[in-house]
Amino acid sequence: MDEAFKKAVRPGQPIDLSLVPTHAEVKATLNADSVLGGLLAKAGMESHHTFPKYVQKLLGITDPTIQDTTPSLVLRIADHQNSPGSFHSIINELIPKRSLPGQFSRQELLDRLEQAYVGFGKPEVFQAAKAWLLYVESLQAVVLP
């Protein structure tokens, strides 16, 4: 999975989100009755929203269908949540789950999310997550007649 992000995020080039599966795509694979889904599940792997849902809500993105289009990062359960050093333990220190809309500016949320990914050793994942946010925001700005 890290390799997909490295291919999608290349210095000096536009970020190609088509090279990274969405959370919905990975979740469907994990839940599918398939060899790959079974292997991932046996290995204790989970799909992580690269732009966590609660952070999306702080930015006004509340539609679950849109939320699940964020790129996915497949992580071992221990690296994902519920253990010291897991991604969610890092991000919860920077953006607590109980944060309220307006508590942080958009830029503060982006800076803190970037800090979390850098601290987790995956800065390229933040770049893809940010590109996804810019794409979603551009869609929301379109007003049809």
pLDDT tens digits, one per residue of 23-37 = 888 888 777 666 666
The backbone torsions φ and ψ at residue 80, rounded to the nearest 5 degrees and listed phi first, read -85, -55
In a domain, 48, yes or no: yes
Domain membership of residue 145 (yes or no) is no
Q: Which two tokens stand for residue 111?
A: 């800076």
In a domain, 92, yes or no: yes
pLDDT tens digit sequence for 98-107: 999 999 999 9
Tell me if 71 is assigned to some domain: yes
28 lies in which domain range? 2-140
